[in-house]
């Protein structure tokens, strides 16, 4: 999934939900008398069910109607900062992933039933894909009637263009699975200018024999391709509409809505795309007339407005932000407000990433890991409704999750072990007052985390220099290999239900590059060998290898300290219909919303 602003869950990465900086009263829910309805690891396990691959029938629109849905009206969207990206190729963070379902379409997508079961279906393709040659070759046929918002028919040439532009330097912040599978870790060398100077990938890699057919040729079997292609980062960019860097501010639309007005850092208005044909789409609806995004409303104000449920707030939703931790006890204790929440166990693991180019001594990294008060971090993010202390770097939403794995004793000492930390620092010869540069997002969550981390590391002798980064560009900045920071808090969730989508993008030594997700710059030959071994194994055997790699990463290298597993609780207005938690996005399901009274 992806980062948190976090990267999306099955089309994740890293997307940040955020909370009030006020740490007092940060919802230690034990202080209220309401029933505990927070999600458990059991709920997380239920979210890790296998994903089905859909045929032509499952992929044929229109999408199944939502009970009670009515057409008309406009939904108000509360956000506290601008979208990280609007260009599909750059989308690997959850706020943009949510947005993508309204505007963009890919070859495949996730269809989700009312129980959270997921099926990969054809989106602009007729099905989830046909594999041959032992899974090395995948063929997609395009549906009839798919157009962009200007009426241009989408053809295989647009799919080719979409893939090839990912090889250019125009794209620096999206997923790289497909590119790596097609051309290896140095994929940019295969087509350094993308399609922009008239060159293309050879037909032995990407074939478009006619206007309706796309064929991918891989060196190795890629059974997860339908899930990878469902990521927002592989949304179609029509060749005629591509404006390179400018596309990020004014993208074309293939989905049910299109941009009518965009004021950077302030607002975004979506209206119906009259070129979208519901008969071609088995996932999305077009119930409301549009969406009004306001990107200047902080989390505390969002929560306050939605609790009050007056005026425009009745038609409003939180997009990827969650209930303000300082007001959570109010929401949980108010039956009417609590009824207007969606909850779920997210696939994200919050971790303290160490820049290994700067923090070379493992004893120091281990000391900081022991010192981090994970429970305080959980409390600052909503208590038991916001998360649970993490023992490892693999979330409870992943198949094969081991709840007993806890090499740093976090479950026994959830508020950290400063004594152990000081002992390790003494062994490492670290002097009192040693400076560390900690980068943090200027979101409320990032600010709250900074206060806790700075205090915890001061207690063991460090002088922490906190460096604020704008929330919208946080992952872009720490994603630079030559970034000037020692450590930074990141959130990562699986891109689909496999450990490969956590370990490979975040801990594979071949993935150290600007814009890549190996934020710690780990390069370990044993880890890399296990990754390559697991990628060639059948699922049962691979699970054992991924577990071995996970343990090796934490115990031998420790590039990132596990802090806590993330949960979600969001509020919406009383006139919003169709609201439910989406297993796929880990937020409110954006595809099924309508207004009860338009």
Among 456, 460, 454, which residue's Cα sits nearest to residue 431? 460
Q: Mark 6-24 as b/e (b = at least 16 C-beta within 10 Å).
A: bbbbbbbbbbbbbbbbebe
State yes or no: pLDDT of 89 exceeds 60: yes
Residue 578 region by backbone torsions, left for phi larger than 0, else alpha for psi between -120 and 50, else beta: left
Distance CA 598, CA 589 (A): 19
Confidence of residue 537 (pLDDT cuts 50, 70, 90): confident
State yes or no: pLDDT of 185 exceeds 70: yes
Confidence of residue 209 (pLDDT cuts 50, 70, 90): very high
Distance CA 95, CA 16 (A): 8
State yes or no: pLDDT of 482 exceeds 90: yes
What pLDDT, in 10s, does the model give residues 349-363? 999 999 999 999 999
Average pLDDT over residues 241-269: 97
Average pLDDT over residues 7-20: 33
Q: Mark 523-543 as b/e (b = at least 16 C-beta within 10 Å).
A: bbeebbebbeebbeeeeeebb
Confidence of residue 308 (pLDDT cuts 50, 70, 90): very high
Distance CA 95, CA 570 (A): 14
State yes or no: pLDDT of 250 exceeds 80: yes
Average pLDDT over residues 548-563: 98
Confidence of residue 539 (pLDDT cuts 50, 70, 90): confident
Structure tokens at 89: 């190729």
Q: Strand pairing partners for 97?
A: none
Distance CA 272, CA 288 (A): 8
Confidence of residue 22 (pLDDT cuts 50, 70, 90): very low
Residues with Cβ < 8 Å from 310, sequence gap 6 or more?
Answer: none
Output the pLDDT for position 1: 47
Higher pLDDT, 241 or 16: 241
What pLDDT, in 10s, does the model give residues 446-474? 999 999 999 999 999 999 999 999 988 89
Element (H, E) at 550: helix 539-552
Q: Mark 123-135 as b/e (b = at least 16 C-beta within 10 Å).
A: bbbbbbbebeeee
Are the CB atoms for 324 and 382 separated by under 8 Å?
no
State yes or no: pLDDT of 31 exceeds 90: no
Residue in the structure block whose two tokens are 């699922």: 539
Confidence of residue 34 (pLDDT cuts 50, 70, 90): low
Distance CA 401, CA 539 (A): 14
Q: Which DSSP string corresponds to 285-343?
A: ---SSEEEEE----HHHHHHHHHHT-GGGGGEEESS----GGGHHHHHH-HHHHTTEEE
Q: Strand pairing partners for 247?
A: none
Average pLDDT over residues 373-378: 96
Any long-range contacts for 409-416 (C-beta under 8 Å, 24+ apart)?
A: 409/370, 410/374, 410/562, 414/373, 414/374, 414/375, 414/378, 414/389, 415/373, 415/374, 415/375, 415/376, 416/370, 416/371, 416/372, 416/373, 416/374, 416/456
State yes or no: pLDDT of 19 exceeds 70: no
State yes or no: pLDDT of 343 exceeds 70: yes
* pTM for the whole structure: 0.87
State yes or no: pLDDT of 579 exceeds 50: yes
Distance CA 170, CA 204 (A): 24
Q: What percent of the chain has pLDDT over 70?
A: 93
Average pLDDT over residues 518-536: 96
Among 282, 254, 226, which residue's Cα sits nearest to residue 52? 226
Confidence of residue 3 (pLDDT cuts 50, 70, 90): low
Output the pLDDT for position 7: 37
Residues with Cβ < 8 Å from 87, sequence gap 6 or more?
Answer: 171, 237, 247, 248, 251
Residues with Cβ < 8 Å from 220, sequence gap 6 or more?
Answer: 136, 181, 535, 536
State yes or no: pLDDT of 16 exceeds 60: no
What pLDDT, in 10s, does the model give residues 116-156? 899 999 999 999 999 999 999 999 999 999 999 999 999 99
Assign 436 to helix, strand or coil: strand
Asked if omega into 62 is within 30° of 0 (cis), the reply is: yes
Backbone angles phi, psi at 545, to 5 degrees: -70, -40
Distance CA 75, CA 77 (A): 6
Average pLDDT over residues 527-541: 91
Distance CA 468, CA 388 (A): 26
Output the pLDDT for position 10: 35
Q: Which DSSP string corresponds to 135-169?
A: GTEEEEEBPTT-B-TT-PBP-HHHHHHHHHHTTST
Distance CA 558, CA 223 (A): 30
Higher pLDDT, 557 or 7: 557
What pLDDT, in 10s, does the model give residues 94-120? 889 999 999 999 999 999 998 889 999
Distance CA 406, CA 551 (A): 10
Average pLDDT over residues 418-437: 97
Output the pLDDT for position 538: 81
Q: What is the largest CA-CA distance in the chain?
A: 68
Q: What mean pLDDT value characterizes the chain?
A: 92
Among 85, 103, 112, which residue's Cα sits nearest to residue 15? 85
State yes or no: pLDDT of 328 exceeds 90: yes
Average pLDDT over residues 225-232: 97
Beta strands in 365-426 (DSSP E): 387-389
Are the CB atoms for 387 and 344 separated by under 8 Å?
no
Output the pLDDT for position 46: 67
Residue in the structure block whose two tokens are 């007993």: 404
């Amino acid at each position: 999934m992806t980062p948190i602003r976090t990267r999306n869950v099955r089309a994740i990465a890293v997307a940040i939900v955020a909370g009030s900086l006020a740490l007092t009263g940060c919802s230690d829910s034990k202080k209220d008398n309401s029933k505990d309805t927070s999600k458990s690891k059991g709920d997380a396990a239920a979210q890790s069910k296998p994903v089905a691959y859909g045929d032509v029938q499952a992929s044929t629109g229109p999408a199944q109607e939502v009970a009670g849905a009515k057409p008309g009206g406009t939904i108000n969207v509360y956000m506290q900062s601008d979208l990280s990206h609007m260009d599909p190729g750059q989308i690997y963070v959850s706020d943009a992933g949510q947005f993508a379902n309204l505007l963009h379409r890919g070859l495949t997508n996730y269809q989700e039933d009312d129980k959270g079961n997921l099926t990969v279906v054809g989106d602009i393709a007729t099905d989830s894909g046909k594999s041959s040659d032992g899974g090395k070759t995948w063929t997609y046929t395009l549906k009839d009637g798919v157009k962009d918002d200007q009426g241009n028919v989408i053809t295989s040439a647009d799919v080719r263009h979409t893939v090839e532009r990912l090889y250019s330097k125009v794209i620096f912040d999206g997923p790289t699975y497909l590119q790596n599978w097609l051309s290896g870790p140095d994929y940019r060398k295969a087509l350094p200018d993308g399609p922009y100077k008239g060159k293309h990938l050879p037909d032995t890699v990407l074939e478009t024999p006619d206007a309706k057919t796309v064929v991918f040729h891989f060196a190795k079997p890629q059974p997860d391709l339908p899930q990878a292609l469902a990521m927002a980062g592989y949304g179609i960019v029509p060749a005629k509409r591509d404006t390179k860097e400018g596309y990020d501010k004014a993208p074309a639309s293939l989905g049910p809505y299109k941009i009518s007005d965009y004021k950077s850092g302030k607002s975004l208005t979506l209206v119906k795309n009259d070129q979208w044909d519901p008969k071609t789409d088995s996932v999305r609806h077009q119930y409301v007339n549009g969406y009004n995004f306001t990107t200047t409303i902080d989390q505390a104000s969002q929560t306050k407005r939605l609790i009050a449920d007056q005026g425009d707030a009745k038609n409003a939703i939180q997009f990827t932000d969650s209930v303000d931790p300082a007001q959570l006890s109010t929401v949980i204790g108010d039956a009417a407000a609590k009824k207007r929440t969606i909850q779920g166990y997210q696939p994200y693991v919050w971790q303290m990433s160490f820049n290994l180019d700067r923090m070379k001594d493992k004893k120091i990294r281990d000391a900081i890991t022991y010192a981090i008060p994970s429970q305080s971090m959980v409390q600052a993010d909503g208590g038991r409704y916001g998360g649970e202390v993490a023992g490892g770097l693999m979330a409870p939403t992943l198949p094969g999750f081991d709840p007993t794995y806890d090499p740093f004793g976090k479950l026994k000492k959830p508020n950290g072990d400063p004594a152990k930390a000081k002992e390790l620092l003494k062994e490492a010869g670290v002097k009192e007052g040693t400076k560390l540069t900690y980068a943090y997002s200027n979101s409320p969550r990032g600010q709250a985390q900074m206060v806790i981390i700075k205090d915890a590391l001061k207690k063991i002798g460090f002088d922490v220099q906190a460096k604020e980064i704008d929330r919208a560009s946080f992952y872009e900045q720490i994603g630079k290999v030559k970034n000037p920071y020692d450590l930074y808090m990141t959130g990562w969730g699986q891109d689909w239900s496999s450990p490969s989508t956590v370990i490979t993008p975040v801990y594979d030594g071949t993935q150290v590059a600007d814009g890549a997700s190996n934020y710690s710059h780990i390069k370990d030959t044993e880890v890399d060998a296990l990754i390559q071994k697991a990628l060639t194994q059948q699922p049962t055997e691979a699970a054992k290898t991924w577990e071995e790699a996970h343990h090796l990463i934490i115990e031998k290298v420790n590039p990132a300290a596990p802090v806590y597993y993330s949960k979600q609780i969001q509020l919406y207005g009383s006139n919003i219909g169709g609201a439910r938690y989406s297993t796929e996005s880990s937020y409110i399901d954006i595809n099924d919303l309508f207004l009860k009274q338009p």
